[in-house]
Amino acid sequence: MQYPAKSYTTDLLSEENVKKYVLPYYGLEEGDIVQIKFKDSDKQRAVYKVDYLNKSYCLKKVYFSEGDLLFVYSAIEWLYRNGLNVPRILATKSKSRYVSYNDMLFILTNWIDGVKCNYDNIQDVLDACSNLAKLHKVSENFMPIEGSNLKTGFEDLHSTLNKHFEQILICSNSAFKYGDKFSKVFLQYFEPNITLAEISARVASTIDNKNLSKALCHLDYVNKNMLFDSNRDMWIIDFDKCKIDYCVHDLSYFFRRLLKRDGTKWDMQIAVNSLNLYETIHPLNLDEYKAIFVYLAFPQKYWKISRDYYNNINKCNKNSFVTLLKKSCEKTEQHFKFVHSFQEYIEDRFHTSLF
């Protein structure tokens, strides 16, 4: 019988099949297995917890190629050997670092028992920022092993933000055209958000990319991927998105996820304290501060929600988009104040104007 691809793959990833066809490679066929996560998308992934002889393991079906997997393996090994707490990829009985089953790749690590980083606990935030600085510091000369795909980022902020700025302007034309509930909310908050976008694009045009430090970057450095064990040692997990990139990309992503929350909404003091601690390990120059400013100044949610809404206006759930936009715009005033304060902070620190 011919199964549809999606159903067939889902069946292959059942606990029973994975236990039968994957776990024997690790000598864990007698273990107990529970599927913890399954995401059926273009980047399909699955996570299982395996318990055997009083030990717990994390088995993961990855969505990328063998070359990308070898890059991830190289990154984890490099960080482990330089003193960071990361769950190493364990070897099979034949000393391979992965299992290939039905054209799918699986890796196994020890299960890390811990609690995720609490953004409302300032010590957790500071520890996370300090740990990110260590990651960047020790991996400035990182090179993956032979056979790896070389995964790099190095996005041109200026061209990217100009494109996003123009998309907001296009959305404004659509808002006047449709005049629906979403469009009214969009136009209500248009002036402060287009101003933030313009400021961001202008500062981006002054950045000299040659002055941005490069290292291995996690690129999904968010609280669910930062775990504190019972000794308060911090572990970094899930390196699926890691690349060699500008350090400020990693750092800015961390800050944007932290500062846009209700509990920490655009708190300037948290940002400054965290940056000061990061710099005790990995100093930043003016161009790097500009790049962080640009990432944090741009109205990311306003742009993305609006772009997606007007690109899918005939088939999207309009009420859901209205709710999303309203929630995003609730913090516009705090965001605007933060950008102004952060600009002053950088200009005072480096005795220069950002523009």
Domains, the chain, ranges and CATH? 5-111 (3.30.200.20), 122-350 (3.90.1200.10)
Run of H or E including 56: strand 55-62
Strand partners, 57: 50, 110
The pLDDT value recorded for residue 290 is 98
Q: Assign 42 a pLDDT band (cuts: 50, 70, 90).
A: confident
Strands 55-62 and 104-110: antiparallel
Run of H or E including 28: none
Single-letter code of the amino acid located at 341: S
Distance CA 287, CA 55 (A): 47
Is pLDDT of 165 > 70?
Answer: yes
CA torsion through residues 79, 85, 89, 93, sign: positive
DSSP state of 240: T
> Distances from the Cα of 94 to the Cαs of 98, 130, 284, 311, in angstroms?
10, 38, 45, 50
Distance CA 301, CA 266 (A): 14
- How does pLDDT run across 152-161, given as a tens digit for each residue? 999 999 999 9
pTM recorded for the entire structure = 0.93
The pLDDT value recorded for residue 5 is 41
Is pLDDT of 10 > 80?
Answer: no
- How does pLDDT run across 230-267, given as a tens digit for each residue? 999 999 999 999 999 999 999 999 999 999 999 999 99
**Neighbour tally for 141: CB within 10 Å:** 9
Largest Cα separation within the chain, whole Å, is 72
Structure tokens at 281: 């390990």
Q: Assign 41 a pLDDT band (cuts: 50, 70, 90).
A: confident
Assess contact for 192 and 289: CB atoms under 8 A: no
Three-state secondary structure call for residue 19:
helix
The pLDDT value recorded for residue 2 is 40
- How does pLDDT run across 11-39, given as a tens digit for each residue? 889 999 999 999 999 999 999 999 999 98
Structure tokens at 72: 């991830």
Assess contact for 141 and 216: CB atoms under 8 A: no
The pLDDT value recorded for residue 224 is 96
Nearest CA among 250, 273, 280, 268 for reference residue 341: 268
The pLDDT value recorded for residue 9 is 64
Is pLDDT of 270 > 90?
Answer: yes
Nearest CA among 168, 167, 157 for reference residue 294: 157
Strand partners, 58: 49, 109
Distance CA 9, CA 18 (A): 12
The pLDDT value recorded for residue 11 is 83
Is pLDDT of 51 > 80?
Answer: yes
The alpha-helical segments, DSSP class H, found in the chain are: 5-12, 15-21, 66-81, 122-138, 157-178, 181-188, 190-204, 247-259, 268-279, 286-297, 300-311, 318-329, 332-350
Mean pLDDT of all residues belonging to the chain: 95
Is pLDDT of 8 > 70?
Answer: no
The pLDDT value recorded for residue 326 is 97
Distance CA 46, CA 60 (A): 6
